């Protein structure tokens, strides 16, 4: 049988396959061309947003400001102050070039032009995505390679919930970029070169003279080892502190025995970090602080030649306008966090040739990065604001406990990450078993299935609870909230997704075949509203990539599942005359949801 009329032809599809523009971008271009016809020679930015009043799908907000700025101009349309304000509105509307995206336009009050998107166009766009894959909705960003510096715990010190935030948010940023066809260098800038190593190494030598033979057992739990050595270090009566300080120098001078001990300690720490990353499904490449050590001197030489480095009471500093200076060599001649970061930035720009470098740390380090970036700009490493390469500090707030203070558990000072994930999983499993028992479905589940499902839901819940907040704010860690199946939680979304999958399954149709043979048509308003929401995926993602705000994706995902619920309440799917079209809409919703889950590092569950 021949394909239905409305199906877009393959040649057309192939041409559009890469670099499909988002709806918003397309509309912006239409508005831009209207603006240049309305007010030739004036370079006015299109102001376009999702319609709030509900008269259209999008609204153009240029009219008002255009009117006031043109009141006194010589343009006949605008020179008469008695003209009604909607005049500029109408001009914008009338000058919109014809387009197959637009179904209708109208003016609303003096301020807006409403635009209604063509329903056929929405339907075709969704079908195109189903045929060619969601990757055709990748946003177009102006860069090819980025460094994402995230997670970055400190060796031998605890990897705390702050590092968990960095890991989770950083992974999402990296995934969004990767989807947008950017090559991402996922960098774990571990603190493996600090002064703590003198203390640790000296302690190791003292406690275990035969450490090379006993190796890992000697150190055992690195955090307790760190604690014990710190106690000794802080004890004023012993000469340990002095020895520890000498050990740092010997390590940095490359003395064999000290390097070997350093390597061992790093290795143990690395294994611990690795287990967390593996559990979270996060990939990272370690390039720790020590890696950049050889670059510090030449970089500082360059900065000195450029006249940026001055001396201040024995230290070397870079003066930063309006801020305290950036110390690049300490009084004792040693390098610090900032010296390493300067070298790392130089390396990323010049060797790795990254066009965008983003750093994920808590907002407490905002000033450090501000000073670092200012120094780099003064050195001429970074061009003007609107050009690449660019740097960006992606800060985030604290994780708070239910008591409103920094998150801690009762028995330990810091929450061990793995325990936290285990807890989420086991609570999920208990909930799941209870629910399945109530529904009489428990017999359909193997223990292995229960286990994998609880792991997916539990871990997803922890990640989502973090990502859904505006990252700049603090958030309260609450198992009860994140594991609730109501409201904006990953658990709710997993159920919503699994339900869509079961609807599709119940129809027992070959979805791939439907995708190419059938077509989507909207009959009910809620059907169209869902469709419109689906195609907005691309512009939401584009905005999330630009502003580096993962919570845009969560907001989108949640409202998508709400739009789906609304559709499913008012439109029968299986067994209705519109079954095939509606199944395709279900499928598209599920595909988009899964892609969002993927960005958020959440494993989707198909059966619940
Ligand atoms: N290790 C640091 C910390 O735990 C974070 C490093 C962030 N990256 C950087 N290039 N400074 O606070």
Q: Can you tell me the ipTM of this complex?
A: 0.99
Residue 81 pLDDT exceeds 80: no
Pocket test for ligand 1, best of 155, 156, 189 (most atoms within 8 A of CB): 189
Pocket test for ligand 1, best of 150, 152, 396 (most atoms within 8 A of CB): 152
Q: With DSSP H G I counted as helix, E B as strand and the rest as coil, what are the percentages for the chain, rounded to 5?
A: 55, 10, 35
Alpha-carbon span 495 to 285, nearest angstrom: 34
The pLDDT score that the predictor gives to residue 252 is: 83
Residue 204's Cβ-count burial label (10 Å; 0-12, 13-18, 19+) is buried
The answer for residues whose C-beta is within 8 angstroms of residue 473's C-beta and 6 or more apart is 397
State residue 221 phi and psi, 5-degree precision: -85, 115
Angle at 105 between CA 102 and CA 110, to 5 degrees: 145
pLDDT band at 5 (very low <50, low <70, confident <90, very high): very low
What is the residue whose two structure tokens read 């894959």? 133
CA atoms within 13 A on the CB side of 164: 27
Backbone dihedral region for residue 487 (phi beyond 0: left; psi -120 to 50: alpha; all else: beta): left
The pLDDT score that the predictor gives to residue 388 is: 96
Residue 79 pLDDT exceeds 70: no
Expressed in angstroms and rounded, the spacing between residue 365 Cα and the centre of ligand 1 is 9
The pLDDT score that the predictor gives to residue 411 is: 47
Q: Which residues of 349-381 are buried (b: 16+ CB within 10 A; e: fewer)?
A: beeeebbbbbbbbbbebeebbebbbbbbebbeb
- Residue minimizing CA distance to atom 6 of ligand 1: 152
- Residue minimizing CA distance to atom 4 of ligand 1: 153
**Region 193-201 average pLDDT:** 89
**Region 533-549 average pLDDT:** 97
Q: Which residues of 24-45 are buried (b: 16+ CB within 10 A; e: fewer)?
A: bebbbebbbebbeebbeeeebe
Alpha-carbon span 163 to 170, nearest angstrom: 10
Q: Which residues of 274-305 are buried (b: 16+ CB within 10 A; e: fewer)?
A: eebeeebebebebbbbbbbeebbeebbeebee
The pLDDT score that the predictor gives to residue 11 is: 42
Expressed in angstroms and rounded, the spacing between residue 221 Cα and the centre of ligand 1 is 23
User: Which protein residues touch ligand 1 with a CB less than 6 Å away?
Assistant: 149, 152-154, 189, 191, 341, 344, 359, 361
- Residue minimizing CA distance to atom 8 of ligand 1: 189
């Amino acid at each position: 049988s021949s394909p239905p009329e409305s199906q877009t032809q393959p040649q057309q599809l192939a041409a559009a396959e890469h670099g499909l523009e988002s709806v918003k971008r397309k509309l912006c271009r239409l508005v831009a061309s209207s603006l240049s016809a309305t007010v030739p020679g004036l370079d006015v930015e299109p102001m376009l947003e999702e319609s709030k009043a509900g008269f259209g799908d999008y609204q153009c907000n240029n009219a008002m400001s255009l009117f006031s700025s043109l009141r006194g101009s010589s343009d006949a349309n605008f020179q008469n102050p008695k003209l009604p304000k909607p005049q500029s509105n109408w001009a914008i509307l009338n000058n919109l070039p014809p387009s197959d995206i637009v179904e209708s336009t109208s003016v609303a009050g003096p301020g807006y032009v409403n635009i209604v998107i063509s329903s056929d166009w929405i339907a075709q766009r969704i079908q195109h995505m189903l045929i060619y894959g969601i990757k055709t909705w990748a946003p177009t960003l102006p860069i090819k390679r980025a460094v994402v510096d995230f997670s970055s715990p400190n060796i031998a010190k605890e990897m705390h919930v702050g590092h968990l935030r960095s890991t989770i948010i950083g992974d999402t940023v990296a995934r969004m970029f990767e989807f947008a066809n950017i090559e991402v260098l996922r960098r774990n800038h571990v603190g493996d070169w600090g002064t703590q190593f003198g203390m640790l190494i000296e302690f190791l030598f003292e406690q275990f003279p035969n450490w090379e033979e006993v190796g890992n057992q000697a150190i055992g739990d690195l955090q307790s080892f760190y604690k014990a050595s710190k106690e000794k270090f802080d004890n004023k009566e012993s000469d340990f502190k002095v020895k520890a300080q000498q050990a740092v120098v010997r390590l940095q001078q490359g003395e064999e025995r000290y390097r070997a001990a350093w390597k061992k300690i790093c290795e143990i720490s690395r294994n611990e970090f690795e287990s967390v990353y593996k559990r979270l499904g996060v990939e990272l490449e370690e390039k720790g602080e020590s890696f950049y050590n050889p670059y510090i001197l030449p970089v500082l030489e360059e900065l000195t030649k450029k006249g940026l480095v001055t001396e201040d009471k024995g230290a070397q500093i870079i003066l930063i306008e309006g801020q305290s200076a950036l110390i690049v060599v300490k009084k004792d001649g040693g390098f610090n966090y900032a010296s390493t970061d300067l070298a790392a930035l130089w390396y990323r720009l010049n060797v790795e040739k990254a066009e965008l470098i983003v750093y994920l740390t808590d907002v407490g380090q905002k000033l450090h990065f501000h000073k670092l970036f200012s120094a780099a700009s003064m050195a001429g490493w970074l061009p003007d604001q609107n050009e690449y390469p660019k740097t960006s500090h992606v800060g985030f707030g604290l994780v708070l406990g239910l008591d409103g203070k920094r998150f801690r558990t009762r028995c330990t000072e810091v929450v061990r990450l793995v325990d936290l994930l285990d807890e989420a999983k086991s609570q999920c499993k208990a909930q799941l078993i209870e629910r399945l028992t109530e529904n009489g479905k428990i017999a359909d589940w193997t223990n292995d299935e229960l286990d994998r499902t609880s792991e997916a839901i539990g871990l997803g819940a922890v990640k989502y609870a973090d990502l859904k907040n505006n990252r700049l704010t603090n958030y309260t860690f609450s198992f009860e909230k994140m594991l609730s199946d109501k409201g904006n939680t990953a658990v709710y979304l997993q159920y919503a997704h699994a339900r869509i999958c079961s609807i599709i399954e119940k129809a027992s149709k070959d979805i791939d075949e439907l995708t190419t043979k059938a077509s989507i048509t909207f009959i009910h308003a809620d059907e169209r509203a869902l469709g419109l929401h689906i195609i907005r995926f691309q512009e939401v993602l584009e905005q999330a990539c630009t502003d580096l705000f993962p919570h845009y994706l969560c907001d989108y995902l949640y409202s998508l599942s709400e739009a789906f619920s609304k559709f499913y309440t008012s439109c029968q799917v299986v067994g209705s005359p519109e079954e095939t079209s509606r199944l395709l809409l279900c499928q598209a919703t599920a595909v988009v949801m899964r892609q969002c889950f993927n960005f958020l590092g959440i494993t989707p569950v198909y059966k619940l």
